[in-house]
Amino acid sequence: MRALFGIAACLLTAGAWAADTAAVLVYFRFGKDRSPGASVTIESFERNLATIAQGGYRVVPLVEVVAALRGGPALPNKAVAITVDGGYATAYRDGWPRLRAAGLPVTVFVVPELLDRGGDAYMSWSELKVMVAAGAGVGVTQQIPLRDGEALARRKRDIEQAAARIKAETGAAVTLFSFPGGEFSLATREAIERAGFAAAFGQHTGPVHPGADRFALPRFPVTQSLGDGSRLTRLLDSVPLPIEDLIPLDPRLGDNPPWLGFTVQGQTAIERLTCTSAHESQPLTVERLGDHRFEVRMSRPFPPGRNRVVCTAPGPGGRLRWLGLPFFVG
């Protein structure tokens, strides 16, 4: 079984990684929304777009990123893809006009049942059709995270039917999936691959690269507190920290805290590796075993729900090497 998070053996130089990688951003809601923790203000979003334009970044459609990961045409340097999850009304009302005015491609991940509902909370099918007709990409997501067990086969069928419904309504082929809340496990990841999707995305941060698992690709969530100013530039400028031999392999944890370890791939030289998690007030303890093997220790268990370990190290040209690892409890 192929392991998650890009464990395929690759001997690539730092320059090659930087040239064939992309930062994928995920937005949710825009403006003064009822869920401020998942929103960006219009002013912040406009600053984000200005940062992208002024920094020389190249925004490319998400399908082109996935094609490059599958051996297709190479990505430009400083490639960025923009996604929006949930199909919220503010995405159409406030986010889409600014993206369209800037000439930037976007992919929206929607839940058909919520588009049926429409109203003040969600965009309508007619609004999604406007976006698709103007060049926006579309993928499928769900309201509730997938879980292991007997219900998974039914959920897989639901997702396949949702993708077919989107195609019937918009005419757009649906090949991309977004894990709700970024949550997945080995079993749910494999269910999405079996459903015939080309790729699936989480929210565990880090740039995508050719060695990454296409059915557990990271994105950088952008909210009011997590994506403005210099932090956005750090995300956009990050380069991969490619790993193999990751333990634990399944992000849905049995043992908590996990015994976390990984090997940095190939010829990548790593100095001053730092790993952090929001549930610990101090950086995690990192033990180096030889040139490329690292083990990460936590002083206490993860809390229930969604968790993430982020490991960074100095990279080429002052850029950060970045690895995000998701872990789910309960």
| Residue labelled with tokens 């195609």 | 167
* pLDDT computed for residue 12 by the predictor: 36
Structural domain range at position 321: 243-329
Token pair 């998650």 is found at 4
Q: For residues 113 and 126, what is the distance between their CA atoms, to the nearest angstrom?
A: 14
Check if the beta carbon of residue 275 is closer than 8 Å to that of residue 212: no
Q: Are residues 222 and 295 in the same domain?
A: no
pLDDT at 11: 29
For the CA atoms of the chain, what is the radius of gyration? 19
Q: Do the domain assignments include residue 6?
A: no
Residue 46 maps to a domain = yes
273 & 141 share domain: no
Q: Helix/strand/coil (H, E, C) string of 238-257?
A: CEECCEEEEECCCCECCCCC
Instruction: Say yes or no: 140 and 261 in one domain.
Output: no
Looking at the structure, tell me whether residues 277 and 174 fall in a common domain.
no
Is 298 among the domain residues? yes
184's CB contacts (< 8 A; 6+ apart) are: 145, 146, 192, 200, 202, 216, 251, 252, 326, 328
Q: Which of 238, 260, 290 is the last residue of a domain?
A: 238
Q: Is residue 319 part of a domain?
A: yes
Do 272 and 224 fall into the same domain? no
Is 188 in the same domain as 113?
A: yes
* Whole-number pLDDT of residue 267: 67
Residues in the chain: 330
Identify the CATH number of the domain in which residue 146 sits: 3.20.20.370
Cα→Cα distances 202→53, 260, 283, Å: 25, 20, 23
Residue 174, C-beta contacts closer than 8 angstroms, at least 6 positions apart: 138, 139, 140, 163, 164, 166, 167
For 56-91, b where at least 16 C-beta lie within 10 A, e where not — what string?
A: ebebbbbbbbbbbbeeeeebbebbbbbbbbbbbbbb
Same domain for 154 and 60: yes
Same domain, 223 and 248: no
**Same domain (yes/no): 260, 323:** yes
In 3D space, the residue among 121, 120, 129, 74 whose CA is nearest the CA of residue 108 turns out to be 129
Neighbours of 48 (CB within 10 A): 21
Asked if residue 9 is part of any domain, the answer here is no
Considering the domain architecture, whether residues 220 and 264 belong to the same structural domain is answered as: no
CA distance 38 to 203: 13
8 lies in a domain? no
CATH number, domain with residue 263: 2.60.40
- pLDDT value, residue 33: 63
176 vs 194: CA distance, rounded Å: 13
* Same domain, yes or no: 269 and 202: no
Provide the pLDDT for residue 118. Answer: 79
Number of domains within the chain:
2
DSSP single-letter state for residue 208: B
Same domain, 118 and 182: yes
pLDDT value of position 149 = 81
With respect to residue 91, please indicate whether it lies within any of the assigned structural domains: yes
| Dihedral sign for Cα atoms in the order 62, 65, 70, 74 | positive
Across the chain, which has 330 residues, the per-10-residue mean pLDDT values are: 38 46 97 80 95 96 97 96 97 98 98 93 97 98 88 94 98 98 96 97 97 97 81 95 96 96 84 94 95 95 97 93 96
Of 206, 238, 270, which closes a domain?
A: 238
Q: SS3 for 104?
A: coil
Determine the Cα–Cα distance for residues 186 and 146; give it in Å rounded to an integer: 11
Q: Tell me what pLDDT residue 19 has.
A: 60
Domain boundary residue among 238, 273, 306? 238
Looking at the domain assignment, is residue 139 inside a domain?
A: yes
